[in-house]
Amino acid sequence: MRARAKSSVRAMLIGYEDQENLGLRSIKATLDSYGFHSVIIPYVPGNVSNVVSAVKEYNPDLVGISIIFQYTFNEFGELASTLRKEGVRAHFTAGGHFPSLRPREVLEALPDLDSVIRFEGEYTTLDLMRQLHRPETWDSIEGLVFRRGTDIVVNPPRPLIADLDALPQVKREPRMLTRGVKAVSMLASRGCLHNCSFCSIRQFYGGPPGRLRRTRKPEAVVAEMNALYEEDGVRLFIFQDDDFAAKSRQQRQWNESYLEALSKSALSEKIRWKISCRVDDLDEDLFSRFREHGLIMIYLGVESGNPAGLKTLNKLVTVEQNHKAVELLKKIGIAFDMGFMLFDPDSTVDSIRENIHFLRRVTADGECPANFCKMLPYAGTPIEARLIREGRLKGTLSQPDYDFPDPRLDWFSLYAAMAFRFRNFDKLGLVERLRLAKFDLLLANAFEPGAWIAAYERELRDLTARCSAVALDYLETALDFIAARDVGGIMRDWPLLHSIAGPQWDEEIEIQQQLDSVLLGYNPALQSVFENEFRRTSERQGAVGLSEAGSWPSGPPIQRLGV
């Protein structure tokens, strides 16, 4: 290895930074404040050379890997293996939801890792750095899981951080969005009071001692927002809180203090912000005032449109509440996107049909595109435990899955993944393009208002409504196909589903081309966004040709903007 770089980097933290990784940034700020200089290296799938080069250049004592999502586990395992093959001898540790909830399995599966830092990582990482070269003392580090010879030692969890405002201020790197608007991620709280069966947040914050949900002082949050506006010109704040507006007396008091602090700072007319919340958090008076003080968009955890699905997911809300929440946001004029699971472990043909009908009703006006997925059984969740008890959990450590009680739905789920994966989840897919266009519209309305906004909004709504209708029409046609056959008939006639998907993709490409034309008319700068993503995608795929990139089962061909 080369000698330590002049910058004397002691720790290198690696993770996704599509948006600011506030977890890694808080760990970095803590280490730096105690004299352990650290750097963050963004992880880009398919491109590990930048990470390898950085590690070899800085020669850190510790490499920390953020494995937030279970399905990225293998990618980061391969990264660690590559670094070892390149001669890196630093201590490798990993953190995030998945390693925190499955530390022993992670260390057993990834022999290149030396330890796991469980739950909140600021002070556990700090203690590890202090004692890094004295492994005989590691038993004393709360929250650490480590190797000792052939054994794996699991220390008691570290209590949750009671005072979030006592943590050092993280360094921000504002991102430039459309229309020259600078944005940063924000955090006003950690944790969630609810226990949805599919979500690992409750397990992550419920594992260590401490309160399930903690908030920063509202005045401190607004002071940080004001400083970022004054010093860096930030005008959009994306709150990453698991449930920003939790419906509790304490949170209601917090909301009032937050709005008061925004008023005193005179920020409300200058900035906009986005949050995530549950449908039962919504209150017309409160959210109307949120809107008056800059709330521009909500990510709404709807998840299911049928009673059985909501019960399986333990949402503790009704379909009627879901509808009322959506109607309320439309009434008071707050844009929204929503999480929705078309499939859950108890799905039936009828429940899926109810979900499709729910999506039709909610998306018919083009307010947001219909998007959907299959519920994944994340590690440590109640639904995973149930599937294990029932003998239904299958797949691998990083890609867990399950079969449905009705085996026909296994085939329908496969079809949906094949036909809609690109549309629903790819950065170049139609849903992501429509989301970007909607956000461009919201920012234009906030910071560049004019008579032209109404025409822009009308054209986007029409295309979004059409996008949803096309997807739901073909989805229901495929469901009818599945419902009319037994498994043997589905297998025999499976090629016919390709004939269903083909026209769907043709219509989506036509919608995309019309959307490209609209965007070129209202904001030509968006062209570079899609072009850059196209180039990155082509590089990751080894310069896959347009005709190959979307062949069945992956989805429709990638279309370049304006082509």
* pLDDT tens-digit readout, 374-416: 999 999 999 999 999 999 999 999 999 999 999 999 999 999 9
- For position 18, what pLDDT does the model report? 84
The residue whose two tokens read 């909501």 is 310
Are 135 and 49 found together in one domain?
A: yes
Residue 536 banded pLDDT, cuts 50, 70, 90: low
Are 347 and 418 found together in one domain?
A: no
Domain boundary residue, one of 374, 405, 436: 405
List the structure tokens of 495.
Answer: 């090629």
DSSP, res 152: E
Are 228 and 150 found together in one domain?
A: no
Is residue 106, in this structure, part of any structural domain at all? Answer: yes
Is residue 290, in this structure, part of any structural domain at all? Answer: yes
- For position 546, what pLDDT does the model report? 31
* pLDDT tens-digit readout, 477-489: 999 999 999 999 9
CATH (domain of 50): 3.40.50.280
Q: Quote the CA–CA distance of 56 and 74 in Å, as a whole number.
A: 22
- For position 51, what pLDDT does the model report? 93
Are 498 and 518 found together in one domain?
A: yes
Residue 68 banded pLDDT, cuts 50, 70, 90: confident
- For position 528, what pLDDT does the model report? 66
Is residue 167, in this structure, part of any structural domain at all? Answer: no
CB neighbour list of residue 555: distance below 8 Å, 6 or more residues apart: 418, 419, 420, 421, 422, 423, 426, 429, 505
- For position 83, what pLDDT does the model report? 95
CATH (domain of 208): 3.20.20.70
Are 400 and 414 found together in one domain?
A: no
Residue 7 banded pLDDT, cuts 50, 70, 90: low
CB neighbour list of residue 400: distance below 8 Å, 6 or more residues apart: 70, 376, 377, 378, 379, 384, 393, 394
Domain boundary residue, one of 122, 154, 186: 154
Average pLDDT, the chain: 91
* pLDDT tens-digit readout, 92-121: 999 999 999 999 999 999 999 999 999 999
Is residue 26, in this structure, part of any structural domain at all? Answer: yes
Q: How far is CA 548 from CA 35, 43, 115, 393, 541, in A?
A: 51, 26, 41, 33, 10
Is residue 166, in this structure, part of any structural domain at all? Answer: no
pLDDT over 70 (residue 238): yes
Is residue 165, in this structure, part of any structural domain at all? Answer: no
Output 425 or 68, whichever has higher pLDDT.
Answer: 425
Are 30 and 111 found together in one domain?
A: yes
Name the amino acid, one letter, at 232.
D
Is residue 4, in this structure, part of any structural domain at all? Answer: no
Burial class (CB in 10 A: 0-12, 13-18, 19+), 45: exposed
Query: DSSP 3-state assignment of 154?
Result: strand
Contact 561, 528 (CB under 8 A): no
Q: Quote the CA–CA distance of 187 and 215 in Å, as a whole number.
A: 9
Are 401 and 411 found together in one domain?
A: no
pLDDT over 50 (residue 551): no
The number of domains in the chain is 3
Domain holding 499, by residue range, is 407-563
Q: Quote the CA–CA distance of 513 and 507 in Å, as a whole number.
A: 10
* pLDDT tens-digit readout, 83-98: 999 999 999 999 999 9
* pLDDT tens-digit readout, 159-204: 999 999 999 999 999 999 999 999 999 999 999 999 999 999 999 9
- For position 531, what pLDDT does the model report? 65
* pLDDT tens-digit readout, 276-331: 999 999 999 999 999 999 999 999 999 999 999 999 999 999 999 999 999 999 99
pLDDT over 90 (residue 427): no
Are 177 and 273 found together in one domain?
A: yes
DSSP string, 207-244: SSSS-SEEE--HHHHHHHHHHHHHHH-EEEEEE--SST
List the structure tokens of 508.
Answer: 């989506």
Domain boundary residue, one of 405, 435, 457: 405
Query: DSSP 3-state assignment of 269?
Result: coil
Contact 294, 272 (CB under 8 A): yes
- For position 540, what pLDDT does the model report? 47
First to last CA, the chain: 49
Are 517 and 544 found together in one domain?
A: yes
Are 400 and 416 found together in one domain?
A: no
Are 354 and 385 found together in one domain?
A: yes
Q: Quote the CA–CA distance of 340 and 319 in Å, as a whole number.
A: 13
Selection from 296, 283, 227 nearest residue 255 by Cα: 283
Q: Which helix (H) or strand (E) is 506 found in, with range?
A: helix 487-522
Q: In what order do the strands lie in the sheet with 38-42?
A: 38-42, 11-15, 62-66, 91-95, 115-117, 144-148, 151-154
Q: What is the dihedral of CA 258, 262, 265, 269, to 10 degrees?
A: 170
Are 413 and 477 found together in one domain?
A: yes
pLDDT over 70 (residue 154): yes
Residue 559 banded pLDDT, cuts 50, 70, 90: very low
Is residue 532, in this structure, part of any structural domain at all? Answer: yes
Residues 486-503, mean pLDDT to the nearest whole number: 92
Contact 293, 259 (CB under 8 A): yes
Residue 530 banded pLDDT, cuts 50, 70, 90: low
Share of the chain above pLDDT 70, in %: 92
Residue 34 banded pLDDT, cuts 50, 70, 90: very high
